[in-house]
């Protein structure tokens, strides 16, 4: 893994044993909780300085009592050894500041539209969301709205659910969420594609998927 341009598989990332970090929707993510805002701000500054020294820049999201970090190597479109190295550095800084990693709450939301005509819908959603079209659908250049992607379907005449939510979580969080959803009156529609994703439905039949990096190459 010494080649800084070589992208890593999800399993290779998992095998690195980065306890503070999880691979969620193509990015290495961590959430560090602190006892106050000042500590979180100081950790943000130190993480930024480390990133500048490494010439490898993560997304840093500072909130009261926490810092969220998201890493990826944009030049090669994946996770590389550069991300692993910086993740270890930031974890060490977090430990020095007394911050605690919270992997259980990590998640990313995507919205999917079922359509037989992706090309026909894309310009509208680019305009409405103020986004950009890319290979995965429509993304926000500022990252402040969920990504939108199009699931290719056949033409249907009957009414059906056209939107569904994809909730990306660490693999160990899938079963607790399924159990909670079932206890809340939902149903497990399908686990045929597990551990890549599970399909759930609320009491009225509206569907959502719990998604992980597993079995995606």
Q: 38-62 pLDDT, tens per residue?
A: 999 999 999 999 999 999 999 999 9
Q: How far apart are CA 129 and CA 131, in angstroms?
A: 5
For residues 212-217, give the mean pLDDT.
90
Tell whether the model's pLDDT for residue 7 goes beyond 90: yes
Write down the pLDDT at residue 37: 98
For residues 57-79, give the mean pLDDT.
96
CA distances from residue 73 to 4, 6, 52, 55, 99 in whole angstroms, order as listed:
9, 10, 14, 11, 25
Q: 56-65 pLDDT, tens per residue?
A: 999 999 999 9
Q: How far apart are CA 21 and CA 31, in angstroms?
A: 8
Write down the pLDDT at residue 212: 97
Query: What letters, b where the CB count within 10 A reaches 16 and e where it falls short, cover 37-47?
Result: eebbebbbebb
Write down the pLDDT at residue 160: 67
Write down the pLDDT at residue 159: 55
Residue of 198, 188, 193 whose CA lies nearest to 215: 193
Q: Where are the domains of the chain?
A: 10-101, 108-211
What CATH topology corresponds to 108-211? 2,3-Dihydroxybiphenyl 1,2-Dioxygenase; domain 1 (3.10.180)
Tell whether the model's pLDDT for residue 93 goes beyond 70: yes
What CATH topology corresponds to 10-101? Gyrase A; domain 2 (3.30.1360)
Phi-psi region of 65 (alpha: psi -120 to 50; beta: other; left: phi over 0): left
Band of pLDDT at residue 99, cut at 50, 70 and 90: very high
Q: 110-162 pLDDT, tens per residue?
A: 999 988 889 999 999 999 889 999 888 999 888 888 999 999 888 776 556 78
**Structure-token pair, residue 150:** 């199009």
Q: 154-185 pLDDT, tens per residue?
A: 877 655 678 899 999 999 999 999 999 999 99
Percent of the chain with pLDDT over 70: 96
Write down the pLDDT at residue 153: 85
């Amino acid at each position: 893994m010494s080649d800084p341009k070589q992208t890593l598989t999800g399993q290779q990332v998992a095998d690195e044993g980065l306890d503070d970090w999880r691979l969620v929707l193509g990015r290495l993510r961590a959430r560090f909780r602190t006892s106050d805002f000042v500590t979180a701000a100081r950790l943000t500054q130190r993480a930024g300085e480390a990133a500048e020294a490494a010439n490898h820049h993560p997304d840093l999201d500072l909130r009261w009592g926490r810092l969220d970090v998201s890493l990826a190597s944009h030049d090669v479109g994946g996770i590389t050894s550069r991300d692993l190295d910086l993740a270890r550095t930031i974890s060490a800084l977090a430990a020095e500041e007394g911050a605690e990693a919270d992997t259980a709450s990590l998640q990313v939301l995507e919205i999917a539209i079922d359509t037989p005509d992706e090309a026909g819908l894309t310009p509208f959603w680019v305009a409405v969301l103020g986004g950009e079209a890319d290979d995965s659908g429509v993304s926000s250049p500022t990252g402040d709205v969920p990504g939108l992607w199009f699931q290719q379907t056949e033409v249907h005449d009957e009414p059906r659910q056209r939107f569904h939510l994809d909730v990306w979580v660490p693999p160990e969080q899938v079963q607790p969420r399924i159990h909670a959803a079932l206890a809340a009156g939902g149903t497990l529609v399908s686990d045929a594609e597990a551990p890549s994703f599970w399909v759930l439905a609320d009491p009225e039949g509206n569907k959502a998927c719990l998604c992980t990096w597993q079995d995606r190459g």
